[in-house]
Structure 1
Amino acid sequence: MNDVPHERHRVLVRAGRSSGHPAPDALAVLTLEEQARAFRFRQPDRGAAYAVAHATARRCLAAQLRSSPELIRFGRLPCPGCERPGHGRPTIDWPRTSWESSLSRSGPHWLFAATDGARIGVDIERLRPVDLDRLGSAVLSETEREYLAGLEPALRQRAFMRCWTRKEAIVKASGIGIEADLRRVESQPSQPVAVVEHEVAGCPTSSWSVRDLPVGSECCASLALPAQTESTSAADPDIDFGSDIGYGADVHRDAYPPPAHSSPLPIPAA
């Protein structure tokens, strides 16, 4: 009996960098609560990033759901780790749909992704100096710490951010988020695409496909999807890197179109 071929999984991805103050046309599609939060940021560019990211999420989803951006209602499921409702997996409460989405921000940079019928997680981080000893011991596995130690010093910061964003994308997709022990999520940073085992109570998926996303030279970003569903495979997803953002945001234009694959970091000599 022949195996049924799996279709490529379609994923919408939008990313950008915001500056100045929240744009009026972005604010217009946000809820009053979202508008208030955008103005609570001390740095205007971060408030603008929040507004544009959420407005872009609404506009992208509205096009798929045949709705108006301002009418979409979001919610959250309880965390599968602590069962509190504040930081579980995000949901689209209205219109009813099988689409799922994930959103991430880092300073003025932001990243949004959505797909139909599968869990999804993304994370973006600005490249900046971090205390690798302190953070590494808190979030990296022993294998990952050994990998970083074998790299040239100039490569270690980016390698750490690759590990970090991959882990964050996976735990967002699984729904456990900040409750996860990131040291137990092996990110395989030497590989451009990795299949990572991460099991969470109540989550139907324990095997995740995670890859880098091209978001320019200032950031590192990752996308996580179930490694395989009944009808689709995440081995080679069909990623739609649209640039139809607007709202006064700067698209990460050096990220479009994406390369055929991300360049792996070097593997240290034994």
Structure 2
Amino acid sequence: METPVLEIAVHWARPVDEPSMRVHLDDAEQIRYDRFLRAEDKARFVTGRTLARTALAEATGLPPEEIRFSTDCEHCGGTHGKPRLPGRGVHFSLSHSGGLVVLALSRGAGAAEVGVDVERESDRDIDSIADMVLAAPEREVLAALPPGERRRAFHAYWSRKEALLKATGHGLAAPMSAIHVSAPAAPAEVLAWEGEAAVPTARLADLSPGPGYAASVAALTTRPLAVTVAGPPPPD
């Protein structure tokens, strides 16, 4: 018998900030929006919330103006957790970096917790943070790559791990270096995971955000992932 897949819908957007997009922000979201100092941060935030409301309205039949998110952390009870829509049988995750915003959505029978991450490749000092991000075998793989390939590979590792930690709800509160994933040129896979944040089952898939970016999606499931993309990332 063929193993059933877990379907995940991925939606991309470019950050914009228009008055019509801020209409449906709740009070807490409006406060958070107002706290951002840079226009680009405001745009990424409001675009993410608009993208989520649009996709969730289609998935649930709720009007966008009635969608209210919970951000309670399942691990500590704080209000800094990933956005959720309780009681609707859907799981979703948001991420943004540079000029991209992305949403991953799992719904229906057998829907599972998901995490998505997009990272714009930067000139950050990889060597200085490798110990915090990479497991020892990953550092060996990175060191063996030609210098021109190391930045892309590092951000591939980063996006896979952050997607996993967003799926579990830990975010950056759990160490990335405890996770060992497959080499960037290989299909995305969790090879080992140590520590309290580890989960027994998780699946990974790389996304295609375009040049200069790395992106991945993760789900807490044993089923293979079937990722559908609602259009490629919009061009610059």
- TM-score, normalised to structure 2's length? 0.88
Q: Verify the 8 A CA contact 2:102 2:116 in the aligned structure 1.
A: yes
Match of 1:252 among 222, 228, 233: 233
Residue 181 of structure 2 aligns to a residue in which SS? coil
Q: Deviations over 1:151-209 (max 9, x none)?
A: 01011011110111111110111122222111110121331231444477698x52211
The residue aligned with 1:242 is 230
Q: Verify the 8 A CA contact 1:197 1:207 in the aligned structure 2.
A: no
Q: Which amino acid aligns with 1:186?
A: H
Q: How far apart in 2 are the matches of 1:84 and 1:36?
A: 20
Q: Deviations over 1:63-96 (max 9, x none)?
A: 111001121121134343xx24234454213xx2
The residue aligned with 1:132 is 126
The residue aligned with 1:86 is 79
The residue aligned with 1:261 is none
Q: Verify the 8 A CA contact 2:116 2:163 in the aligned structure 1.
A: yes
Q: Deviations over 1:32-79 (max 9, x none)?
A: 332343343222122112111111101100111100112112113434
Q: How far apart in 2 are the matches of 1:132 and 1:120?
A: 27
1:1-270 equivalences in 2 (<5 Å): 3=1, 5-19=2-16, 22-80=17-75, 83-93=76-86, 96-116=87-107, 117-188=111-182, 189-198=184-193, 205-228=199-222, 233-234=223-224, 236-237=225-226, 239-243=227-231, 252-253=233-234
From the superposition, tell whether residues 79 and 139 of structure 1 become closer, same or farther in structure 2 (CA, over 3 Å): farther
Q: Which amino acid aligns with 2:27?
A: L
Q: Which amino acid aligns with 2:21?
A: A
Q: Verify the 8 A CA contact 1:11 1:240 in the aligned structure 2.
A: yes
Residue 171 of structure 1 aligns to a residue in which SS? helix
Q: Which amino acid aligns with 1:148?
A: L
Q: How far apart in 2 are the matches of 1:192 and 1:49?
A: 29
Q: How far apart in 2 are the matches of 1:196 and 1:91?
A: 28
Residue 84 of structure 2 aligns to a residue in which SS? strand
From the superposition, tell whether residues 174 and 38 of structure 1 become closer, same or farther in structure 2 (CA, over 3 Å): same
Residue 91 of structure 1 aligns to a residue in which SS? coil
From the superposition, tell whether residues 124 and 163 of structure 1 become closer, same or farther in structure 2 (CA, over 3 Å): same
Instruction: Using the aligned pairs only, state the percent identity.
Output: 30
Residue 62 of structure 2 aligns to a residue in which SS? coil
Q: Verify the 8 A CA contact 2:100 2:233 in the aligned structure 1.
A: no
Q: Verify the 8 A CA contact 1:92 1:100 in the aligned structure 2.
A: yes
From the superposition, tell whether residues 215 and 97 of structure 1 become closer, same or farther in structure 2 (CA, over 3 Å): same
Q: Verify the 8 A CA contact 1:58 1:69 in the aligned structure 2.
A: yes
Instruction: Judge which range, 157-166 or 107-116, deviates more.
Output: 107-116
Residue 97 of structure 1 aligns to a residue in which SS? coil
Q: Which amino acid aligns with 1:175?
A: G
- TM-score, normalised to structure 1's length? 0.77
Q: Verify the 8 A CA contact 2:203 2:220 in the aligned structure 1.
A: yes
Q: Verify the 8 A CA contact 1:197 1:206 in the aligned structure 2.
A: no
Q: Verify the 8 A CA contact 1:102 1:120 in the aligned structure 2.
A: yes
Q: How many residues align?
A: 231
